[in-house]
C-alpha cells in the first residue's frame, strides 16, 4: 500500500489545528478568572496588566484582527438580540429596538486602528515620527444608561490603541455587562489574543470602582456618567477622560422647516426613551412659530399636557424633592408608562410628553433622561440662543438648532461651545445615526477630548532619528 506522505502530513496538520482551536478557550480560562470576570478588583487589574505586557508584542495586524473579532461577536444576531433585550430587562430603561440600533452602531462605526495615523517630518537633520503608543491598563467606568454600548465602543477603541481595559460596570447593569465581557473574551481567545485583555469583577460596586482607580497598575481612567464620578476621576491624579452629563437644548427659529423640525425633535427626544445624554431635553422656540411647531410635534407622536395640576403631578412624580435630580425609577421609561402614573391612558403611538414651561421650570433645568419635553417661548432667535446657553449649564455636551439662517447657526455654535452641535437634524445624527462620521458612547465634554476614539486612549510619542537620511 502506497502512502502519500504529503496527504498524511496535511491531515495531521488539520487535526492539530482543530485541537489548537478547541483548546484555545480552556487555556484562556485557565489564565485566571471566568472569561475575564474575576472575584476581586486586584485580581482583575493584575490579569489585565499581564495581558497588556503580552499585547505589546502583537503587531498592528494582530490588533486589527482582535478588534474585528469584537465587532463580529457583537454583530452575531443571537448575541445582538440577547444583550439588547437583557439590557432593557435588567436596567428597566430604554427600549429593545433602540438598543439594537445602538449596539450595532457601536460595533460597526467605532474606529479601530485606522484612527492611529503616524505623522512624519523629514529634512536635512533627519527624520521625526509622531506615533501613538498605549497607556497600558485603562480603567473604564460605565453607566447604567448605555451599559453594553459603552463596553463595546471602549473595548474596540482601547484595544486598537494597544491597551488592556478593566471595566467597572454600574451594579444595575451587572448581568448584561458581565455577559458581554465574557462574550468578548471568548471571541478574542478564538483569534489567538492574549488572555484577559478585557476584564471586570463579578460584583461591581463603589468599593471595587475605588479599588480600580487607586490601583498603581491602572495608568488611565475613563468615566462615563454623571458629574460626581467625573469629578472623582479628575481628582485621581491620573490621566483621566470624563464623559459627563448634559442638558441639550434645541432652538427653533422662524426660518426653520417647521414640519421637519417637529419630526426630528420628537424622534431625537424619544430615541431609547431619552436615555442618551445627547437627546433633546428642552425646546426653545421663537414665539411666532411655537404654536405651529407644537401642532406638528403632536402629529409626530407628542402628547401635550395643558392642565397645570397634571404638570405639577408629573413634577412630583419624576423630580426629586431637591428639585435638581430625576427620580431614578422613571429614567428611561416610556411616555406611555409615565402618563399612566398620573392617570392618563394613551396608545403606543405617543412617544413624547410635551408641555409649555418657563425657563426656571424643573423640566427645563434638570436633565431628566425621560421623554418629557418642555417648550419655552421666546420673542426672537437671539433670546433663544441666549437661553439655550444658560439652560445647557456649561456642560458643553450637545445642542441642536433648526434654522436656515447661517449667521444665527454660527452664532449659537460659537456661544454654546458644545462637543456636538446638530444643525437641522435629530440629536442622534451627532453620533452617526443618519449623520456622517464615526460613533462613540464616551463623549468627553468636561475634559475636552470630544467624541473619543482610539487616539484618545493613546499617548503621542515623538521618535527622532538625527541625520543619515539626506538622499535628496
How many CB atoms within 10 Å of residue 470? 10
Does the domain formed by 26-244+452-461 have CATH 3.30.450.20? no
d(CA 274, CA 347): 18
User: Is 463 assigned a catalytic role?
Assistant: no
| Between 14 and 330, the higher pLDDT residue | 330
Query: Given this model, what pLDDT does residue 245 score?
Result: 86
The model's pLDDT over 47-62, given as tens digits with 9 standing for 90+, comes to: 999 999 999 999 999 9
Query: Given this model, what pLDDT does residue 331 score?
Result: 96
> What's the pLDDT band for 4 if we cut at 50, 70, 90?
low
Q: Which CATH architecture has domain 249-435?
A: 3-Layer(aba) Sandwich (3.40)
Contact indicator for 253, 381 with CB cutoff of 8 Å: yes
d(CA 350, CA 429): 22
Res 29 pLDDT > 50: no
Full-model pTM: 0.89
Burial of 161 per CB tally in 10 Å (0-12, 13-18, 19+)? buried
Contact indicator for 96, 84 with CB cutoff of 8 Å: yes
| Between 152 and 225, the higher pLDDT residue | 152
Contact indicator for 433, 101 with CB cutoff of 8 Å: yes
Among candidate residues 153, 269, 277, 463, the one labeled active-site is 277
Tell me the backbone φ, ψ of residue 86, rounded to 5 degrees. -65, -35
Domain with CATH 3.40.605.10 in the chain: 26-244+452-461
The model's pLDDT over 232-265, given as tens digits with 9 standing for 90+, comes to: 998 899 999 998 889 999 999 999 999 999 999 9
How many CB atoms within 10 Å of residue 421? 17
Q: Average pLDDT of 107-116?
A: 97
Domain with CATH 3.40.309.10 in the chain: 249-435
Q: Please state, in angstroms and as integers, the Cα–Cα distance from residue 264 to each residue in 256, 261, 279, 291, 434, following that order.
A: 12, 5, 11, 17, 11
How much of the chain, in percent, has pLDDT values that exceed 70? 93
The model's pLDDT over 318-366, given as tens digits with 9 standing for 90+, comes to: 999 998 899 999 999 999 999 999 999 999 999 999 999 999 999 999 9
Amino acid at each position: 500500500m502506497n502512502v502519500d506522505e504529503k496527504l498524511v502530513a496535511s491531515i495531521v496538520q488539520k487535526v492539530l489545528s482543530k485541537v489548537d482551536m478547541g483548546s484555545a478557550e480552556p487555556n484562556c480560562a485557565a489564565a485566571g478568572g471566568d472569561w475575564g470576570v474575576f472575584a476581586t478588583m486586584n485580581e482583575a487589574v493584575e490579569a489585565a496588566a499581564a495581558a497588556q505586557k503580552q499585547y505589546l508584542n502583537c503587531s498592528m495586524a494582530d490588533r486589527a484582527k482582535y478588534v474585528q473579532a469584537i465587532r463580529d461577536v457583537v454583530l452575531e444576531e443571537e448575541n445582538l438580540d440577547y444583550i439588547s433585550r437583557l439590557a432593557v430587562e435588567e436596567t428597566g430603561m430604554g427600549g429593545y429596538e433602540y438598543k439594537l440600533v445602538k449596539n450595532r452602531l457601536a460595533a460597526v462605526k467605532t474606529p479601530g486602528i485606522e484612527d492611529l495615523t503616524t505623522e512624519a517630518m523629514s529634512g536635512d537633520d533627519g527624520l521625526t515620527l509622531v506615533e501613538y503608543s498605549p497607556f497600558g491598563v485603562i480603567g473604564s467606568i460605565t453607566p447604567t444608561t448605555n451599559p453594553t454600548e459603552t463596553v463595546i465602543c471602549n473595548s474596540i477603541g482601547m484595544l486598537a490603541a494597544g491597551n488592556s481595559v478593566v471595566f467597572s460596570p454600574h451594579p444595575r447593569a451587572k448581568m448584561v455587562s458581565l455577559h458581554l465581557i465574557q462574550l468578548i473574551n471568548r471571541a478574542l481567545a478564538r483569534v489567538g489574543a492574549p488572555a484577559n485583555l478585557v476584564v471586570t469583577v463579578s460584583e461591581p460596586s463603589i468599593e471595587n470602582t475605588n479599588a480600580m482607580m487607586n490601583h498603581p497598575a491602572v495608568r488611565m481612567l475613563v468615566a462615563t456618567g454623571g458629574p460626581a464620578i467625573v469629578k472623582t476621576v479628575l481628582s485621581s491624579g491620573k490621566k483621566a477622560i470624563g464623559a459627563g452629563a448634559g442638558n441639550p437644548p434645541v432652538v427653533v427659529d422662524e426660518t426653520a422647516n417647521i414640519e421637519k423640525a417637529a419630526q426630528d425633535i420628537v424622534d431625537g427626544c424619544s430615541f431609547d426613551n431619552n436615555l442618551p445624554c445627547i437627546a433633546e431635553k428642552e425646546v426653545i422656540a421663537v414665539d411666532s412659530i411655537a404654536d405651529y411647531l407644537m401642532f406638528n410635534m403632536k402629529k409626530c407622536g407628542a402628547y401635550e399636557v395643558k392642565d397645570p395640576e397634571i404638570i405639577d403631578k408629573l413634577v412630583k412624580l419624576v423630580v426629586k424633592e431637591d428639585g435638581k435630580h430625576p427620580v431614578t425609577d422613571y429614567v428611561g421609561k416610556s411616555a406611555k408608562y409615565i402618563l399612566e402614573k398620573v392617570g392618563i391612558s394613551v396608545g403606543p403611538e405617543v412617544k413624547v410628553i410635551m408641555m409649555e414651561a418657563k425657563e426656571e421650570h424643573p423640566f427645563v433645568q434638570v436633565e431628566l433622561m425621560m421623554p418629557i419635553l418642555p417648550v419655552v417661548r421666546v420673542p426672537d432667535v437671539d433670546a433663544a440662543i441666549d437661553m439655550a446657553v444658560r439652560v445647557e449649564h456649561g456642560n458643553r455636551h450637545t445642542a441642536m438648532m433648526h434654522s436656515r439662517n447661517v449667521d444665527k447657526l454660527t452664532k449659537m455654535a460659537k456661544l454654546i461651545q458644545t462637543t456636538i452641535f446638530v444643525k437641522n437634524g435629530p440629536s442622534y445624527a451627532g453620533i452617526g445615526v443618519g449623520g456622517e462620521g464615526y460613533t462613540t458612547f464616551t463623549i468627553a465634554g468636561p475634559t475636552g477630548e470630544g467624541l473619543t476614539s482610539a487616539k484618545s486612549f493613546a499617548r503621542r510619542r515623538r521618535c527622532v532619528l538625527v541625520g543619515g537620511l539626506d538622499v535628496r
